[in-house]
Structure 1
Amino acid sequence: MKINDIINEIIEHDTIIIHRHVRPDPDALGSQAGLKEMIKHSFPNKNVFVVGKEDPSFNFLVRMDQINNSVYQDALVIVCDTANAARICDDRYSLGQKLIKIDHHPNVDQYGDIQWVEPTASSTSEMIYELYLHAKEQGFSINDGAARLIYAGIIGDTGRFLFPSTTKKTFQFAAELVTYQFDRTALYDGIYSMKDTIARLRGYILQHFVLRPSGMSSIKLTKDILDEFGIDPMETGQLVGVLGDVDGIKAWSIFIEEEDLIRVRLRSKGPVINEIAAKYNGGGHPMAAGASVKTWEETELVIQDLERKCLEYNK
């Protein structure tokens, strides 16, 4: 069983380095840092690190470690919540002795010596808690800090338990996690509260989105628009779901202009959109995915593909 293989590798290695995907969300950070806290609490003498570029909006949740390349020698490397190797944050992940993939996205890119992939799981954080349940007999334990991080990842990827990926297991795990001592109110505030600049941009999106008869919707956030509202492109993650409550929208795309590319965020309430993401240098879940293009002309191709998916879904 792959879970047992992962448990054995964690026990055998003295140094463990945990990665996740670029532009992290609560599940990426919750699974990554929650796993670190669990291992450190269980085995205080092990050297465990989390690495990757920080997103300042999530510094309240966890801070990353800074390590030299030499630390990777003989280390176990675990990558959490990352479907494609190209999206792993910090390309040193290949420098370790062994590589493990733990993820809940469709297993398109099968990297790693051990792969534990559960697309039916609500989140990778849910999988980390399941790992703990399997590993208790081998001396694994969790503390309040680990519970806080794992819970944060679960609520982040389930939309506070509203998304269809939420299962009976999800609620059971959450019920156990809330028995630990951490401030749930502060956690929710940290994840979901937004600055006034983000709130104003949210209003702009609701005023300017395009909606076609097929149910396809889109909005383009150029660098000029982001500058006008004083928004860094990394901060727009809070706005991905804004159009989800609009009646008549079946799938939508938000295009965010960054320094050297245009970020494509895709969401759906029915049509499968991760195939579109894969076509444009990305990937993800059937109903939530991301990609990137180089020009605004290419965004029109994404819109055409998304329109086609909505039309097919309507038949």
Structure 2
Amino acid sequence: MKSNKFLNIVENYDTIAVFRHQNPDGDALGSQFGMVRWLQNRFPNKKVYALGENNHSFTLFPQSDDVELKGEFLAIILDTANQARIDDDRYELADQIIKIDHHPIVEDYGSLRIVDSTRGSCAEIIADLFINLDEYSFTEEIASYLLAGILTDTIRFSIETTSSKTLRTAANLVDYGANISKLNQELFTRPKAFFELRTRLSQEVVWKDKLAYIILSQDLLQELNLKEDEAKMFISIMADIIEVEIWALFIEQQDQSYRGSIRSRDITINTIARKYNGGGHRLASGVRDLTTLTLEEIIKELAKTSLS
């Protein structure tokens, strides 16, 4: 079983560095800190670090470790389909890599790969891995981090990859001390300023067939004092409109290229995303390095697809 292989590899290293993807979401962070705390509890004599930039707005999670990696170490890379998205290039110095992920396979990197794209989150996979290995190493903190990852990536159990297995895993985490009501409040409540900004951005929505999209220029980001990584969450503005089948948010980068997030109610969009330097899940994908021309092209293709 892969759980035993995972444990065997971990036992061979005194130093373990846990990585996740750039611009982390709740699943990346919940998976990372759940993994770090579990390893620290299970192996108190090992050095275990969480690596990556502290460029997120979640208050639930601690800061990443500022350390110098020396000698042999194991890299555990979470929630990251391809190596270009790994936050912190020092994973390249690792003697061995374990990959744990729930995205469709883009790159088969790592000597051990625990990948299941039918799962709603990476945190779900990790929670089941730990339960299979040693439920007694769980604490309320670990369970809370992992349930936070599940809640954010499944959008509170609302996406199509939410399964009975997802709900059973979440129930197990509640049994280990995670407070689902408290986590929902901490993860999803927003200040009044957020509501006001959301109202302002709703004026930027463009409607084309059954596609709705927003383009955020650098000028608009500066006008609204909005950071690029914070702007991504506003894709939800268009999520509950019954006439919309596909919705997207495109953000202009400092180099004048565009990065985009695309969502769909039931139309497959990751095949389109792969044509534009991106990819992801069937109904939730991302694209990057779009020029003004390719931005126009993908909008036309998404609009046409929204009618299918």
* Cα distance between partner residues in 2 of 1:103 and 1:275: 19
Structure 2 residue 22 is the aligned partner of structure 1 residue 22: yes
Question: C-alpha separation between the residues in 2 aligned to 1:69 and 1:141?
Answer: 26
What secondary structure, in the 3-state scheme, does the structure 2 residue paired with 1:60 have?
A: coil
What's the % identity of the aligned pairs?
36
**Which of 140, 149, 155 is matched with 2:151 structurally?**
155
Q: Does 1:176 align with 2:169?
A: no
| Change over 3 Å in CA distance of 1:182–1:126 after alignment to 2 | closer
How far did 1:185 drift?
4.3
1:144, 1:64 → 2: CA distance? Answer: 20
Match of 1:273 among 256, 269, 274: 269
Asked if the contact 1:32–1:80 (Cα under 8 Å) also holds between the matched residues in 2, the reply is yes
1:78 maps to: 76
Deviating more after overlay: 153-162 vs 55-64: 55-64
Q: Is the CA contact (8 Å cut-off) linking 1:241 and 1:267 kept in structure 2?
A: no
> Where does residue 132 of structure 2 map in the other structure?
134
For 2:178 and 2:159, locate their aligned partners in 1 and report how far apart those are by CA, in whole Å. Answer: 24
Shift of 1:237: 2.8
Structure 2 distance, partners of 1:197, 1:291, is: 28
Q: How far apart are residue 133 of structure 1 and its match?
A: 1.8
Q: Residues 186, 117 of structure 1: CA spacing in aligned structure 2 closer, same or farther, 3 A cutoff?
A: same
2:104 pairs with 1:106: yes
Look up the match of 2:188. Answer: 192
- 8 Å CA contact 1:39–1:140 kept in 2: the answer is no
TM-score relative to the length of structure 1: 0.91
Moved more, 40-49 or 258-267: 258-267
- Quick one: which of 282, 285, 288 aligns to 1:286? 282
**What amino acid does structure 2 have at the position aligned with 1:7?**
L
What's the secondary structure of 2:142's corresponding residue?
helix
Q: Equivalent residue for 1:2?
A: 2
Offset at residue 135 of structure 1 (A) = 0.9
Distance 1:46 1:31 in 2: 19
Q: Does residue 31 in structure 1 map to residue 31 in structure 2?
A: yes
**Partner Cα distance (2:66, 2:110) in 1:** 23
Any conservation in 1 of the 2:215–2:250 contact (CA below 8 Å)? yes
Cα displacement (A) at 1:11: 2.1
2:192 and 2:228 map into 1 onto residues whose CA distance is: 15
Asked if the contact 1:200/1:229 (under 8 Å) is kept, the reply is: no
* TM-score normalised over the length of structure 2: 0.93
2:90 matched to 1:96? no
Match of 1:58, SS state, is coil
Corresponding residue of 2:215:
220
Q: CA deviation at 1:197?
A: 4.0
Q: CA RMSD in A?
A: 1.8
**Aligned AA for 1:152?**
A
* Alpha carbons 1:293, 1:299 under 8 Å: kept: no
Q: Give the CA deviation at 1:82.
A: 0.5
Amino acid at match of 2:217: T
- Aligned partners of 1:102 and 1:124 also within 8 Å: yes
Which residue matches 2:246?
Answer: 251
CA contact (8 A) 2:20 2:77 kept: yes
Unaligned regions of 5+ residues in structure 2, if any? none
2:294 pairs with 1:298: yes
> Hey, what's the Cα distance between the residues in 1 that align with 2:190 and 2:200?
15
Cα shift at 1:298 = 2.4
- Establish whether residue 65 from structure 1 lines up as the match of residue 65 from structure 2: yes
Unaligned runs of 5+ in 1: none
SS in 1 for 2:60: coil
Distance 1:173 1:205 in 2: 36
Q: Which amino acid aligns with 1:95?
A: L
Q: Render the CA deviation track for 1:195-230: whole Å, top value 9, x for unaligned.
A: 4443233223323312222x1221111112122222
Deviations 1:260-295 (A, max 9, x none): 232211111122111222222222111111111243
- Find the residue that maps to 1:148 and give its secondary structure: helix
- Which range moves more in the overlay, 274-283 or 142-151? 274-283
In structure 2, C-alpha distance between the alignment counterparts of 1:226 and 1:195, rounded to whole Å:
19
Check the 8 A contact 1:132/1:140 in 2, yes or no.
no
Provide the C-alpha distance between the structure 1 equivalents of 2:133 and 2:216, rounded to a whole number of angstroms: 46
Q: CA deviation at 1:141?
A: 1.5
Query: How many corresponding residue pairs?
Result: 307
Q: Distance in 1 between matches of 2:225 and 2:290?
A: 23
Return the offset for 1:93: 0.9
